[in-house]
Amino acid sequence: MDERRTASNWRAMAYRLVFLSLGSALVAYGLKGFLVPNHIIDGGITGISILLSSITGWNIGWFLLGLNLPFLILGYKEIGKTFTLLTFLGVAELSAGTWALQGVPTSTQDLLLAAVFGGVIVGLGVGLVIRNGGSMDGTEIIAVVLSEKWPFSVGEIIMFFNVFILGSAGFVFGWDRAMYSLIAYFVAYKTIDVVVDGLNESKGIWIVSNRSDELGIVILARLGRGVTYLEAKGGYSEEPKQMIYTVVTRLELPKLRGIIREVDPQAFVSVADIHETMGGYFRKKKIH
């Protein structure tokens, strides 16, 4: 059993390293093939590296590696060695990738196309790295540390850094490039969300109904989704209630609404986004 577990852990780590390398290669191509030649920057340390590379004439890889190192040391102390090691590998591979692609021709000189497609490729690469346990930017590490001491969330701190960095592009490359940089950053941000969370986002549904037994049977019969019954009590009436919890896909939500309106139009329904499900019986049951 221990040997099987060890072999499984090694396979899982190898899988993560392969996709970590693929993600780093995609980010390197997105930078060298689209963003850097057109003086369009990304957020975080990557954006600072593009600015410094343009000012000094040095390869961007030096700055990507050098500027991230202090944050990696901080991450090792504050967050954990596995995350820090995977992040270091991702950053090192990204730095090496920018060296390897130094002579790659510019994919397009159209600024809008460069911002959109560069953002998609960079976001796809960063998303793969994050999904496999690493990171591509030291500002995320410092944001995690600062969020424990400051009254701001990680997202708010990262946004503050990026507003400053993207604004700096206006002084270095011109304000039109700063606006294209904002487009690239937004596209990359949304692409990361898709890669990390997936396209098939699920919905968690809480239903409070006086006809919960009948409603659960119909949901199972028509949608093939399992339901869980929870005992509850009304806060105002203090009457015992039965609540249904179920998880459906985004595309099944309209059909579920129709079922609820048909069985119990007075039911109270709450819907929440579910980015990931594990275990249980979420796979759809066959409807006969």
User: Among all chains, which residue has been given the structure tokens 């072999």?
Assistant: 7
Give the confidence band of 205 by pLDDT, cuts at 50, 70, 90: very high
| CA distance linking residue 248 with residue 201, whole number of Å | 9
Residues contacting 183, CB < 8 A, separation 6+? 112, 115, 116, 119
Residues 79-92 pLDDT 10s: 778 888 888 888 99
Q: Please choose, from the candidates 86, 95, 91, 110, the residue with its C-alpha nearest in 3D space to the C-alpha of residue 34.
A: 110
> 44-54: buried (b, 16+ CB within 10 Å) or exposed (e) per residue?
bbbbbbbbbbb
Helices (H), 174-203: 175-197
Strands of the 240-249 sheet, one edge to the other: 228-233, 240-249, 202-209, 268-274
Residues 22-78 pLDDT 10s: 999 999 999 999 999 999 988 888 889 999 988 898 888 899 989 988 888 887 777
User: What is the residue type of 271?
Assistant: V
46 in Cβ contact with 129 (< 8 Å): no
| CA distance linking residue 192 with residue 198, whole number of Å | 9
pLDDT at 177 over 80: yes
237 or 42: which leads in pLDDT: 42
User: What pTM, to 2 d.p., does this model score?
Assistant: 0.73
pLDDT at 119 over 60: yes
| CA distance linking residue 84 with residue 93, whole number of Å | 14
pLDDT at 248 over 50: yes
Domain boundaries, the chain: 2-197, 202-274
pLDDT at 125 over 70: yes
| CA distance linking residue 126 with residue 115, whole number of Å | 16
pLDDT at 107 over 80: yes
Element containing residue 206 per DSSP (H, E): strand 202-209
* DSSP single-letter state for residue 211: T
pLDDT at 273 over 50: yes
| CA distance linking residue 208 with residue 232, whole number of Å | 9
CATH class of 202-274: alpha beta
